[in-house]
Amino acid sequence: MLTRSEMSRYIDSTLLRPDATAEEIRRLCEEAARYRFFAVCVNPGRLELAARCLEAEEVKLCTVVGFPLGANATVIKVKEAETAMEAGATELDAVMNIGLFKDGNYRAVEEEVQGLARLVHDRGGILKIIIETGYLNPEEIRLATRLVAAGGADFVKTCTGFGPRGVAGDDIIYIRSSAPPSLKIKASGGIESYQQALGLIELGADRIGTSHARSIISELMEI
């Protein structure tokens, strides 16, 4: 059992819907500050607004890169990451090139992660790589995890929320079995309840990405 304040520090409160309004972004940031969520995650075009809303807060600012397909050219992803950090993001969730991975072009996948990690780390940020587990079998999840680790990312993240399914407990088990201790796990995709979030944490998730952060926290009474 985690207290409300303990659970809050696991949560990246997320709003990545393409139709999200400015008012919804402001409300997301206000809730994150009130509940002391670890971060908010918004689309790149909303970074400047979110940065203004969180200017005096401890909440981290996160955005996505190559989202949601991961199919952009590496040079585009790197430029997108650079622009996002200039706009105030300190954590980037970048989608792995799933097509290259399925081709067996593992060197290209690893080199892309390396390029992103170099840029993000040079600017003092955190890089999470989304491997979109819904497209991968268990051995592919393990292999993708090893490539993400070799590329120097800080986290492997399960899902975009726009793929064929959300996170499953087995995803965390497969990732944890292949991840070095230095590589953290962000579970995301369809996490809607406290019990679901807690179960993923107990399996080894270090961060929870969810668009249901307030409802998850509302299930808990502060202890």
Residue 73 included in any domain: yes
Considering Cα of 66, then 130, then 182, then 10, what sign does the dihedral take? Answer: positive
- Catalytic, out of 60, 77, 128, 186: 186
Residue 180 included in any domain: yes
pTM above 0.95, yes or no: yes
Structural tokens at position 65: 């890169």
- pLDDT tens, position by position, 128-180: 999 999 999 999 999 999 999 999 999 999 999 999 999 999 999 999 999 99
For the domain that residue 195 is a member of, what is the CATH number? 3.20.20.70
186 is a catalytic site residue: yes
154 is a catalytic site residue: no
**Dist CA 24 CA 70 (whole Å):** 26
**DSSP symbols for 201-219:** HHHT-SEEEES-HHHHHHT
Residue 223 included in any domain: no
Residue 39 included in any domain: yes
State whether residue 171 is helix, strand or coil. helix
Residue 17 included in any domain: yes
Q: Rounded to the nearest 10 degrees, what angle do helices 169-178 and 138-151 cross at?
A: 50
Q: Which domain range does residue 142 map to?
A: 4-218
pLDDT of residue 223: 42
170 is a catalytic site residue: no
The percentage of the chain sitting over the pLDDT mark of 70, rounded to a whole number, equals 99
Contact 200, 172 (CB under 8 A): yes
- Catalytic, out of 128, 157, 171, 184: 157
pLDDT of residue 220: 85
For 118-148, give one letter per residue: b (16+ CB within 10 A) or e: ebbeeeebbbbbbbbbbbbeeebbbbbbbbb
- pLDDT tens, position by position, 65-97: 999 999 999 999 999 999 999 999 999 999 999
Residue 216 pLDDT level (bands cut at 50, 70, 90): very high
Residue 28 included in any domain: yes
Residue 83 included in any domain: yes
pLDDT at 51 over 80: yes
Report the chain's mean pLDDT, rounded to a whole number: 97
- Catalytic, out of 12, 93, 154, 171: 93
Contact 61, 85 (CB under 8 A): no
pLDDT at 222 over 60: no
Residue 213 included in any domain: yes
Domain count, the chain: 1
